[in-house]
Structure formats: C-alpha cells, structure tokens
Amino acid sequence: MSLSGIAARAAVAATITLTLAGASWSNEIKGKVSVQGIKSAENIAVYVDAVPGKKFDAPAEHVVIDQKKMTFVPHVTVVMQGTTVDFLNSDPVGHNVYWPSISGNKKLAHNMGTWPQGQRKSFQFTDLGAASLLCNVHPEMSGYVVVVPTPYFAVTDKDGNYTIKNVPPGHYTIVTWSEEGKPTTQSVDVSAATATVDLTVKK
C-alpha cells in the first residue's frame, strides 16, 4: 500500500476513535420537575449524587454571581465542591454578602464584607450543602449557592425542565434541592444517549 493510502486509513481510524470517544461523554439526563405545594418549579437544583470510588478535581474556572438591580444573579447557582465563586457588584451602591450557615451548619457561616460597584470578592466553597446568600445592607436580597459532589448538575427553567449534560454511562442517584421543598432522590441508569427522569418535589 502506498504511503498516501496508509495516511488516509490512519486519518479515518483517528476520526472514528475521536467520534467514539466523544460519544461516550455525550450522554445526558433530562426531564421535568413537577411541584406540589410549591409556587414554582423554577430554580430547582438537580444533580448526580456522589459516585462511590470516584473523585473529581475542583474546577479551575471560577463561577460569577452578580449583584445587579438589588438581586443576586442568578438566584440559584449550583457548583461542584471546591469551586471558587466570584461575587461581582454591578450596582452603584455598596453590597455585602454573607451566609448564616451551610445547610443549617452555623459553624460554616461566613461574612465577606462590603464592596463598591465594579469590584468582586472570591470564595472557594469546599463544604457540601446550600448557602443562603444575604446582604446586610439590603435585607430584601437573597440567593443560594448549592454545593454538590459531582460536576453533573442543572437548574430547572420556569417550566421545571432540566438537562444534565456530559454524563458518562453508569448507575447514579439523582437528587433535588429547592428553596421551599424537600429533597427528592431517584435512581437512574445512563446507557443510551438520553436518560429521562421526571421528578416531583413536595413542600
């Protein structure tokens, strides 16, 4: 076989390998969250719980939460354990960020202080759970950082829909967190390109 023929076959083989490798990570978990006794199915965190024997490195990329028009944007932010969050102040007034606990543990309370427009402060979230974000300057402001054990998570849209992307094949437990409802868990096997899991969150 000529050198050009060998090169062509090698190129095809490489393309197939890359395609298969990409396919193995293209799976997703998607579905719809319905609610009972809760005013909205929006802003509910849905995530894959800890995977036995599997550890994930903390992401190098920071997540940004803005303080804009006297609100935390987004209202609910889900991050993997070890993620650093940058709190930006886009308002023309000083803002304070603090949380009185993480999932009820007051020992994990933290006050980041107050800073002016255009500046940001960072915090690395190493403890699992939900931090309720508040502002000492503006008591009407509230938000949440939900710290989860895996990089597989999503937040529901206004209709309760969610999609968790790039989930490797395997058996997992899906968990929900919401501002008003109780956690819901559901087992799921991810083998096909898309696994559908519909959930119900109750008050």
**What does the DSSP assignment read for 34-90?**
EEES-S-SSS-EEEE-PPTT---PPPSS-EEEEEETTEEESSEEEEETTEEEEEEE-
Q: Which fold has domain 1-56+154-203?
A: Immunoglobulin-like (2.60.40)
Encode pLDDT of 27-42 as tens digits: 999 999 999 999 999 9
pLDDT at 10: 36
The mean per-residue pLDDT over the stretch 40-45 comes to: 98
Q: Is the pLDDT of residue 65 over 60?
A: yes
Q: What is the CATH number of domain 57-148?
A: 2.60.40.420
The mean per-residue pLDDT over the stretch 130-137 comes to: 96
Cα–Cα distances (Å) from 6 to 12, 17, 39, 65, 123, in that order, read 10, 16, 63, 52, 53
Q: How confident is the model at residue 192 (pLDDT cuts 50, 70, 90)?
A: confident
pLDDT at 6: 36
Q: How confident is the model at residue 25 (pLDDT cuts 50, 70, 90)?
A: low
Q: Is the pLDDT of residue 18 over 70?
A: no
Encode pLDDT of 101-111 as tens digits: 999 999 999 99
DSSP 117-182: TT-EEEEEE-S-EEEEEE-SS-TT-EEEEEEESSS-EEE--TTSEEEEESPPSEEEEEEEE-SSSP
Within this chain, domains 1-56+154-203 and 57-148 share the same CATH topology: yes
Cα–Cα dist 87/129, whole Å = 18
Which run of H or of E encompasses 185?
strand 185-190
Confidence (pTM):
0.86
Q: What percent of the chain has pLDDT over 90?
A: 86
The mean per-residue pLDDT over the stretch 76-97 comes to: 97
Domains of the chain by residue range: 1-56+154-203, 57-148
Contact present, 108 and 127 (Cβ < 8 Å) = yes
